[in-house]
Every structure is written in structure tokens, then in C-alpha cells.
Amino acid sequence: MDMTPLRKQQSQYGERDVFKGVFEVDAERDDGTPYCVWTKNFTPSLNEKSNFRKFVRGLLGRDLTKEEMADFDTESLIGKTAHLVVVHEHKDGETYANIAACTPDKSGEPMKASGKYVRVKDRPPREAGGYRRAEPLKAEGGTRNAESGNDLGATKIHVGKCKGLEVRDLSPEQVGALIANWLPAAKSNPKPLADDKRLIAALEAWQEAQAATATKEDDDNINY
């Protein structure tokens, strides 16, 4: 499993740091790469009632000792295997995979890492056609709303198979699919929801960034 780096998220209680766990599973895509299942957001707290403490307890099959808690590092969980209970939720014609339970793998033959997964912290910043993970893109040709100052790359997806992820977590192909299959109908809706408006703005910013980069590449290729 992987643990993602901390990132900022706005909540009803203000801004907070959150992160997720990521598991490779034994189901594969058409190209042979394994699917990954992501946990819900955790806050970096080992409080007895915190969701992360409960998750670690389930993953290890025991509670943390006082010594472990005193010097706990999420890196210690990297590579841990587990038995997952994944519940598929069907909504609006789409299927969503959610982790319902996480317990120690007692099979004796734990699943081996595919070697094809790149840890989130080790992924390079995405160039045009995606969102930079290292820092928000600027207002000009990027994903930051110049008027509100909001990072549009952090916009939550509320439709389709990528529901629950942020726009900057998607691959260029996934963003392109949203633009092709969802955006036209959303923009034609005379009464869009607030979530629709935010996602429309984020996808249009992505298109602008891609177009701006394409123009720059054309200019760089001109022979003088």
C-alpha cells in the first residue's frame, strides 16, 4: 500500500491537512496494470477516536503500542498487505468502489506489488494536459481562479467513475473524458448545481491550459 502526502482541504471546520491510503488490488485494467482502491481522507491524528487510528488498528490487527505512537511515521505502513472488503455502490448508472473493511492478510500468500505503481510522492509534476501536484497552476493558463483565488485543481469530482477524487488527481485521459462526455450537457443546463459550476470552471481552466501550451509548442517549433 501507499500513503499519499499531506495536502490542504477546506472543510466546515476550516482548512485541514488530509491524506489517503492506496492499495493495489488483484483486478487488472485492459493494459495489465492493476486497479487501485483509495481510502477516504484521513487527518494526521492518532487520537483514540480518529478514523486513521481505527484504520491502522484494522490494518495491523492490533492497536499501536505507546512506543509506536510516540514515534509513528506513516512510511512504516508502506508495502503492507491487507484483506479488503470492497463495497460497490451503484448510482446514476455508475459503479463506485469503497473500502468497507481492512484487516490483516492471513492467506499466507500476500499479493505482490506489480512494480507498475508509482508512489504519489514520487510522481513528477504534470505538464500541460494535467494538473501539477507540486503546486497549484497560476491563473494565466492554469487552474487557479483569478477572482476567487481558489485552486480549481482541488475541485471535487461529483459525477462518473472518478467521483470523490479531485480534478488534479485525474489523468489527462480521465479529464478529457469528462470534457467530452459530461461538460457539454452540464454547460447547457439552465440551472446548474453549485458542484456543477465548480467542475465546469475547473474543466474549462484545464482546456485553456492545454490550449496555451499547445500554442507555445507551435511557436517553439517555428523555423526562423
Give the pLDDT score at 103: 94
Number of domains in the chain: 2
Q: Is residue 39 part of a domain?
A: yes
pLDDT bin (cut points 50, 70, 90) of residue 46 is very high
What gap in Å lies between CA 78 and CA 194, rounded to an integer?
37
- Give the per-residue pLDDT at 147: 35
pLDDT band at 82 (very low <50, low <70, confident <90, very high): very high
Asked if 91 and 154 sit in the same domain, the reply is no
Give me the pLDDT at residue 217, please.
38
- Give CA 114 to chain center in angstroms: 20
- From 104, 139, 154, the end of a domain falls on 104
Share of the chain above pLDDT 70, in %: 81
> Per-residue confidence at 223, pLDDT binned at 50, 70, 90?
very low
Question: Counting Cβ atoms within 10 Å, is residue 141 exposed (0-12), middle (13-18) or buried (19+)?
Answer: middle
Helix axis angle for 172-181 and 194-220, nearest 10°, is: 120
Is 184 among the domain residues? Answer: yes
Amino acid at 222: I
The average confidence (pLDDT) of the chain is 78
Share of the chain above pLDDT 90, in %: 29
* Residue finishing a domain among 70, 104, 138: 104
What 8-state DSSP symbol labels residue 42? B
Say how far apart CA 5 and CA 169 lie, in whole Å.
13
Q: Tell me, yes or no, whether 8 and 89 share the same domain.
A: yes
Confidence of residue 215 (pLDDT cuts 50, 70, 90): very low
Task: Please report the pLDDT score of residue 122 as a whole number.
Answer: 86
Read off the pLDDT of each residue in 174-190 and give the average, rounded to a whole number: 89
Q: Mean of the pLDDT values across residues 135-151?
A: 37
Q: What is residue 213's predicted lDDT score, i.e. its pLDDT?
A: 53
Burial grade of 13 (CB within 10 A; 0-12, 13-18, 19 or more): exposed
Q: Do 130 and 99 have their domain in common?
A: no
Q: Quote the CA–CA distance of 81 and 78 in Å, as a whole number.
A: 9
Q: In this predicted model, what pLDDT tens digit does every residue of 110-139 receive, in sequence order? A: 888 888 888 888 877 654 444 433 333 232
Picking from 43-47, 50-54, 90-94, which range would have the lowest pLDDT averaged per residue? 90-94
Identify whether 121 is part of a domain: no
* Any domain includes 113: no
Statement: residue 216 has pLDDT above 50: no
Bigger pLDDT: 128 or 33?
A: 33
pLDDT band for position 151 (cuts 50, 70, 90): low
CB-count burial class (<10 Å; 0-12, 13-18, 19+) for 191: exposed
150 and 80, same domain (yes or no)? no
Are residues 134 and 176 part of one domain? yes
Alpha helix locations (H) across 11-160?
A: 51-60, 66-70
Residue type, 197: K
For residue 30, pLDDT over 90 is answered with no
Q: Are 146 and 138 in contact (CB under 8 A)?
A: no
Looking at the structure, do residues 70 and 161 belong to the same domain, yes or no?
Answer: no
Q: Is the dihedral of CA 66, 72, 74, 79 positive or negative?
A: negative
pLDDT average, residue stretch 51-75: 92
Of 46, 73, 104, the residue at which a domain comes to its end is 104
Q: How many whole angstroms separate alpha carbon 206 and alpha carbon 178?
A: 11
* 153 shares a domain with 60: no
214 domain residue, yes or no = yes
For residues 130 and 72, membership in a common domain is answered with no
Asked whether residue 150 carries a pLDDT value surpassing 90, the answer given is no
The three grid cell numbers given for residue 177, joined into one nine-digit string: 473524458
The whole domain housing 161 covers 126-220
The residue with cell 486497479 is 35
